[in-house]
């Protein structure tokens, strides 16, 4: 979340920047500053009250030692009223602190100056494009029909056992899925990311720590009896490794990668654009997460973008990169680049990765800090990216590599699959 001192010192700039998101911030920012002023006034009075109470307690002790019992008892009555006042002030302080947190949790991150204005994904800015879109035969099929033809993904079986959006991968389809996971992890670890296996359920504090709560509460599966949430991405458990931690400046960069299944309700997602693997309730993803010194986070973001580029080049998939506009930018992100692969049979671009810098927004929620060269605690910067999300990568491979003889396997994946064609 945003830091109150930053808001106080940059009020108009914050309001103007948030307008890029089409977020009317005037009212909530004014309330934040008002509540914080009240909180600070209560805190000052509480500090003075406690200081006076402590001073009187010492005087009472000295009076008792000197045999001045009557004077000591008079002061004890005064300390009793001070304690009552302290209790009342503490309650007021807790109320104001809670209200301040509620307000801050519902204010999105300030966009980076390079984020373009816009209302939706139609206003995103294409910044890079690479790869040749293959020319398919007239009888070429979309991936959901190819999956059925070669018996590699069973959407109906998934619907039977769970519901729509839970496919079952079969035979060479399952092996290709596993090959992609291993390949992505190997690429990430070779680039210096430490591999982790993490829980697939997280507590409420973890959801708040990375900003999925309260913003995405309706999109997360909630295990009510245990008050746990199924993760929408490995970003949540991995970034929460560092909740409440003070890391060493010499530890930067901290680079993590993890494979997990991901669970999203995707409420309200209907229509032709969600067919097949286009949008699922459960899908696999390999994530990369970085904790960085603030001075290096944008260099790190560029490095993450280049890393994902390298993977897509090896897969020989046509792709493009978009800088997200304010209206499409994630709640917690300051700057996001989306990668999209071209689905030749569907004749459309499919998002396969988002690479984002959250600056101090998540770190402030997490209380993730480091000691600078002067020994002062500073908030770190956090970043994450998909490297990569599997469903649409798999869809892109199935469609773009289809031939009259079957579905060819990208050369880089053959050592992982053990076969070169699905036929």
Per the annotation, does 314 bind a ligand? no
Of 41, 71, 106, the last residue of a domain is 106
DSSP bridge partners of 342: 349
**Count: domains in the chain:** 2
| Bond prior to 214 in cis (omega within 30° of 0) | yes
Per the annotation, does 353 bind a ligand? yes
Per the annotation, does 57 bind a ligand? no
Of 106, 132, 161, the last residue of a domain is 106
128 inside domain: yes
3-class SS at 28? helix
Q: Note whether 83 and 165 are same-domain residues.
A: no
For strands 335-343 and 406-408, give the pairing. unpaired
Per the annotation, does 245 bind a ligand? no
Domain CATH code at residue 177:
3.30.930.10
The one-character DSSP state at 272 is: G
Per the annotation, does 10 bind a ligand? no
21 inside domain: yes
Q: Note whether 225 and 361 are same-domain residues.
A: yes
Residue-range definition of the domain harbouring residue 16: 4-106
Q: Note whether 26 and 76 are same-domain residues.
A: yes
Per the annotation, does 411 bind a ligand? no
Domain CATH code at residue 25:
1.10.287.40
pTM of the model: 0.92
Per the annotation, does 292 bind a ligand? no
65 inside domain: yes
Distance (Å, whole) CA 143 – CA 274: 12
290 inside domain: yes
Q: Note whether 56 and 26 are same-domain residues.
A: yes
- What integer pLDDT is reported at residue 70 of this predicted model? 66
Q: Note whether 100 and 137 are same-domain residues.
A: no
Q: Note whether 75 and 206 are same-domain residues.
A: no
113 inside domain: no
Distance (Å, whole) CA 290 – CA 329: 19
Q: Note whether 16 and 132 are same-domain residues.
A: no
- What integer pLDDT is reported at residue 413 of this predicted model? 98
3-class SS at 266? coil
Residues in the chain where the model's pLDDT stays below 70: 63-65, 68-70, 72-77, 267-273
Q: Please give the torsion angle defined by the CA atoms of residues 219, 220, 223 and 226, in that order, rounded to the nearest 10 degrees.
A: -130
Per the annotation, does 16 bind a ligand? no
- What integer pLDDT is reported at residue 77 of this predicted model? 67
Residue 270: how many CB atoms within 10 A of its CB? 9
Of 77, 106, 135, the last residue of a domain is 106
Residue 194: how many CB atoms within 10 A of its CB? 12
Per the CB < 8 A criterion, the answer to whether 173 and 423 are in contact is: no
CB contact set of 285 (below 8 Å; sequence gap of 6+): 233, 234, 259, 260, 261, 262, 386, 388, 389, 390
Q: Please give the torsion angle defined by the CA atoms of residues 347, 353, 359 and 361, in that order, rounded to the nearest 10 degrees.
A: 90
Q: Note whether 35 and 125 are same-domain residues.
A: no
Rg (CA), the chain: 27
Q: Tokens at residue 22, please?
A: 């089409």
In tens, the pLDDT along 233-290 reads 999 999 999 999 999 999 999 999 999 999 999 765 555 457 899 989 999 999 999 9
63 inside domain: yes
Which residue do the tokens 């291993």 mark? Answer: 182
- What integer pLDDT is reported at residue 26 of this predicted model? 95
CB contact set of 135 (below 8 Å; sequence gap of 6+): none
Q: Note whether 131 and 59 are same-domain residues.
A: no
Per the annotation, does 265 bind a ligand? yes
Q: Note whether 43 and 138 are same-domain residues.
A: no
112 inside domain: no
Per the annotation, does 287 bind a ligand? yes
Q: Note whether 280 and 389 are same-domain residues.
A: yes
Distance (Å, whole) CA 216 – CA 232: 10
116 inside domain: no
Per the CB < 8 A criterion, the answer to whether 422 and 150 are in contact is: yes
């Amino acid at each position: 979340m945003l830091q109150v001192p930053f808001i106080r010192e940059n009020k108009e700039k914050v309001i103007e920047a948030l307008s890029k998101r089409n977020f009317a911030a005037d009212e909530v920012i004014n309330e934040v500053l008002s509540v914080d002023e009240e909180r600070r006034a209560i805190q000052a009075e509480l500090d003075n009250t406690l200081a006076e109470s402590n001073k009187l307690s010492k005087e009472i002790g000295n009076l008792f030692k000197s045999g001045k019992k009557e004077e000591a008892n008079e002061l004890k009555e005064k300390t009793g009223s001070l304690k009552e006042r302290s209790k009342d002030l503490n309650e007021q302080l807790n109320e104001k602190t809670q209200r301040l947190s509620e307000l801050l949790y519902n204010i999105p991150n300030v966009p980076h100056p390079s984020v373009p204005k816009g209302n939706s994904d139609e206003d995103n800015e294409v910044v890079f494009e690479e790869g040749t879109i293959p020319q398919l035969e007239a009888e070429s099929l979309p991936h959901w029909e190819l999956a059925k033809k070669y018996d590699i993904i069973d959407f109906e079986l998934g619907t039977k056992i769970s519901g729509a959006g839970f496919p079952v991968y079969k035979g060479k389809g399952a092996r290709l899925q596993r090959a992609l996971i291993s390949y992505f992890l190997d690429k990430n670890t070779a680039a210096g990311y430490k591999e982790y296996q993490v829980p697939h359920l997280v507590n409420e504090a973890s959801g708040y720590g990375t900003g999925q709560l309260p913003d995405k509460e309706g999109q997360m599966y909630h295990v009510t009896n245990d008050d746990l949430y199924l993760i929408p991405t490995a970003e949540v458990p991995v970034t929460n490794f560092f909740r409440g931690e003070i890391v060493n400046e010499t530890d930067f960069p901290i680079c993590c990668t993890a494979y997990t299944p991901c669970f999203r309700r995707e409420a309200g997602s209907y229509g032709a654009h969600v067919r097949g693997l286009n949008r699922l309730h459960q899908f696999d993803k390999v994530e990369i997460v970085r904790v960085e010194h603030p001075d290096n986070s944008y260099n790190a973001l560029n490095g993450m973008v280049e890393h994902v580029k390298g993977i897509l080049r090896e897969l020989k998939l046509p792709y493009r990169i978009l800088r997200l506009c304010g209206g499409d930018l994630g709640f917690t992100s300051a700057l996001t680049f989306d990668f999209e692969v071209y689905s030749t049979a569907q004749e459309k671009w499919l998002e396969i990765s988002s690479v984002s810098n959250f600056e101090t927004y998540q770190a402030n929620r997490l209380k993730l800090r480091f000691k600078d060269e002067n020994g002062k605690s500073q908030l770190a910067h956090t970043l994450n990216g998909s490297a990569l999300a599997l469903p649409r990568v798999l869809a892109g491979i199935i469609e773009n590599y289809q031939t009259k003889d079957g579905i060819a396997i990208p050369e880089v994946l053959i050592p992982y699959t053990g076969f070169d064609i699905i036929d």
